[in-house]
Amino acid sequence: MLAEDIAYARTDEYPLRDREYKDECLAEEDILKIEFIHIKFMRCRFTGCDFSGAGFYSVEFDKCDFSNCRFGGSYWKDSTIKECKGNGAKFDMAVLKHVGLEDCRLDLTNFTGSSWERCSVRECGFREVQCQKECPLKQILWRSARRRGSF
């Protein structure tokens, strides 16, 4: 169902709105510049997908795996990422506002040039992350986050 909805959104340039996806698997999908509004992803797996330029508004990722996916230039607002795995993901130039991350593994993730504002991070692992350019972090609440690298 998710793959069909993304194809429809891509073709007609409509946002995906007010939906819930469970146990979906997508591989190597082009999800560029699609807007997700009030979406809940539960136990979904995204392998090598490209979400570059996508918008996430009031979106929840719960127990998902988006390792090695690309989120460059994406925009996140009022969203949560909970108990997810995103090792090796690329969030370069992403904007995160009012985003909550809880109990996530984001090792080897690239946050170069991203900006974070009023986000909360709880029980997350950020080992060997990259943030080579300025990466503004404004009003971030860190709770038991394990950080190592240039973040």
Q: Which residue would you say has higher pLDDT here, 100 or 12?
A: 100
pLDDT of res. 135: 67
Q: Tell me how far apart the alpha carbons of residues 67 and 79 are, in angstroms, rounded to a whole number.
A: 18
Burial of 58 (0-12, 13-18, 19+ CB in 10 A): middle
pTM: 0.90
Given pLDDT bands bounded at 50, 70 and 90, which one contains residue 150?
very low
DSSP secondary structure letter of residue 7:
H
- How does 107-136 read in b/e, with b if 16+ C-beta sit within 10 Å? bbbbbbbbbbeebbbeebbbeebbbeeebe
Indicate if the pLDDT at residue 75 is higher than 90: yes
Q: What is the pLDDT of residues 15-41, one digit of tens each?
A: 999 999 999 999 999 999 999 999 999
Q: What is the pLDDT of residues 88-139, one digit of tens each?
A: 999 999 999 999 999 999 999 999 999 999 999 999 988 888 776 666 666 6
Q: What is the pLDDT of residues 40-74, one digit of tens each?
A: 999 999 999 999 999 999 999 999 999 999 999 99
